[in-house]
Amino acid sequence: MQSPKYTARAHTNIALIKYWGKLDQDLIIPMNSSLSLTLDKFYTDTSVFFDSTLKQDIFRLNNKESSSLKVTHFMKVLREKTGETRFAMINSENHVPSAAGLASSASAFAALALAASRAAGLVLDSRSLSRLARRGSGSATRSIYGGFVEWQQGSDDATSYAVPFEENVAWNLSMIAVVISAKQKKISSSVGMQRVVATSPYYSAWRKTAAQDLAAMKKAIKKRDFRQVGTIAEENAMKMHALNASAHPHFSYFEPASLQVMKIVADLRSNGIFCYYTLDAGPNVKIICQNKDIQTILAALAPSFSQERLVVAGPGPGVKLIDKP
């Protein structure tokens, strides 16, 4: 017996205030709250149906059968929550370079959470869906919503979830993603976080300053203070990466081209073009800018980076069903 098939689309988000470290590894409760911007250009479409003839979950990524311990674990959690006993056929199309610091897991598990819960017969409100998506990937909890989104740290499964801060962003704000590498990271986010929490002597300072950055960022967004938004985001990202440099053994997600982009951004700013960079757990750089400066920034990047490696994105929408019975 086969359940109805549901297909969901979720977009990636890029954290302006990062979370780096987990209070609870299984429940994925973060050490600090965070704030992100959902983007329109990067997304994942995922279809799910349950079938009593299947002996295990089957996961296909970009038309190839794949193995993912995170997907397996997530589906186990889903079955526990819904009472569904059948295994699932999962087909996912990822319009994001996987595991390269462009938040592919955020869109992937947000889409899976919606499609799988509906296929299991469960209609969840946004808060419950955010909590469910978090069990697959922490950043996925924010991709349930569009625009600016805050993931409230909480202390347990019931209290850790995302809330919309400003879903419809009526602001000429963009991000230029510079794809340095689409290869899988040598050190996963989870491993990097655990190492930092366990060994960095500066971790307690990170938690304190991250809370301060979050409060300042929310005020800057409300005031539409672009320069302040960019400055806070850039400094918060660099503090996160400084933790990696202070861990034992230390590690870095930067590549030479990452540093090159960061210098180009700093040079542009020195010349009156106000733009700012941020990086997650990967080498790819996201440049926060205003729409009026996009072409100038692209021109500055063009001598070093081909056009296909430069993707301009704007604020994007929350998760939604794109196909249902």
Say whether the peptide bond before residue 256 is cis (omega within 30 degrees of 0): no
Cα–Cα distance measured from residue 167 to residue 190, given in angstroms and rounded to the nearest whole number: 28
The neighbouring-strand residues paired with 290 are 173
pLDDT for 100: 47
- Per-residue pLDDT tens over the stretch 74-128: 999 999 999 999 999 999 998 875 544 565 899 999 999 999 999 999 999 999 9
- For residue 270, give every residue at least 6 positions away whose Cβ sits within 8 Å of its Cβ, in sequence order, or none: none
Contact 85, 95 (CB under 8 A): no
Contact 110, 143 (CB under 8 A): yes
Q: Mutual orientation of helices 104-119 and 126-134 as an angle, nearest 10°?
A: 120
DSSP 8-state secondary structure symbol assigned to residue 315: B
**Sign of CA pseudo-dihedral 57, 113, 135, 199:** positive
pLDDT for 98: 52
Question: What are the tokens at 41?
Answer: 């250009």
pLDDT for 246: 98
pLDDT for 275: 98
- Per-residue pLDDT tens over the stretch 235-287: 999 999 999 999 999 999 999 999 999 999 999 999 999 999 999 999 999 99
Tell me the three state secondary structure of residue 241: helix
Contact 255, 186 (CB under 8 A): no
Cα–Cα distance measured from residue 293 to residue 309, given in angstroms and rounded to the nearest whole number: 18
Cα–Cα distance measured from residue 37 to residue 15, given in angstroms and rounded to the nearest whole number: 6
Question: What are the tokens at 233?
Answer: 């985001």
- pTM for the model stands at 0.95
Q: What is the mean pLDDT of residues 136-146?
A: 97
Q: What is the mean pLDDT of residues 209-224?
A: 98
- Per-residue pLDDT tens over the stretch 21-40: 999 999 999 999 999 999 99
Q: What is the mean pLDDT of residues 285-301?
A: 98
Amino acid at 213: D
Q: Calculate what percentage of the chain has a pLDDT beyond 90.
A: 91
- For residue 157, give every residue at least 6 positions away whose Cβ sits within 8 Å of its Cβ, in sequence order, or none: 27, 29, 131
Cα–Cα distance measured from residue 114 to residue 129, given in angstroms and rounded to the nearest whole number: 7
pLDDT for 104: 85
Q: Which helix (H) or strand (E) holds 232?
A: helix 226-246
184 falls in which pLDDT band (50, 70, 90)?
confident
Q: Calculate what percentage of the chain has a pLDDT beyond 70.
A: 98
Q: What is the mean pLDDT of residues 184-207?
A: 94
Strand 64-66 relative to strand 58-61, pairing: antiparallel
Average pLDDT, the chain: 95
pLDDT for 96: 74
